[in-house]
Amino acid sequence: MTKSLIAAAILSVSCFAQAADRGAFVIDAYGDSTTAGVMSSGGKNIIAPGNEMAYLQKMLQSKYGSAIEVKNHGVPGAQAAELLYNKGKDDPSGWSERMANSSAQLILLNYAINDARHYFFKDKNAHLESPEEYGRIMTALVKEAKAHNKLVVLQEPNPICGKVERWNVWPYVYQLNEVAKAEGVPVVKQWTAIKAQRDWQSEMSADCIHPSESLYKLKAQQTFDVISANFGKQLSQPGS
């Protein structure tokens, strides 16, 4: 082995050791099927490896190093109430315990589509969330995360199209932005940015609810931009 190769090996080991010493910067991403990465294909829903959180981790690691880890806690069909009250009706202790035990420095929250769907159909087996109730629940989730010294980023849902537009998600998007203002946390304007694109519906999966892989990548870029703009310093010094 030449001296140059030995030197390169030593440098590589040194950099790895420094990253290990700093510890990981963990992002816990909570949300519905669009967080999980569902796409509609051939009449079936699949969780695509090329989802928003996978792309987001690659983008963050490319800029800030391998110590960045995005953990995807997306659950298809989930609404915000299930995260807050995962121990049962009106009992938020499960979320409190999760935040107390979480090693994450940053919490991503992405809900609204199923919240609007359940409310539209008045589903008897769901916690019905009017836009105002949704806002209250999102506020409680943010406050509890902040109480445990977590950074928080909210995400607007992607827009939906076709017959499911009747679920009327927009009032939930409005409430989410009101929560962000009141709590002083950043929000990723997914709904707004995607809606502004010409023929954005062509970037959706066949069910008009879930994005295509290219749109998931765009969502990841928008989330990356917001996280970097607000928390770039913390990302550059994980574990410090």
User: How much helix, strand and coil, in percent to the nearest 5, is found in the chain?
Assistant: 55, 15, 30
Q: What is the mean pLDDT of the chain?
A: 91
Domain 33-236 = CATH 3.30.1330.60? no
* pLDDT for residue 22: 54
Confidence of residue 238 (pLDDT cuts 50, 70, 90): low
Q: How far apart are CA 42 and CA 204, in angstroms?
A: 14
pLDDT tens digit sequence for 192-202: 999 999 999 99
pLDDT tens digit sequence for 124-157: 999 999 999 999 999 999 999 999 999 999 999 9
pLDDT tens digit sequence for 62-121: 999 999 999 999 999 999 999 999 877 778 889 999 999 999 999 999 999 999 999 999
128: how many CB neighbours lie within 10 A of its CB? 16
Average pLDDT score over residue span 192-221: 96
Rama region for 129: left / alpha / beta (φ>0; ψ in -120 to 50; rest): beta
Q: How far apart are CA 12 and CA 20, in angstroms?
A: 12
pTM for the full predicted model: 0.89
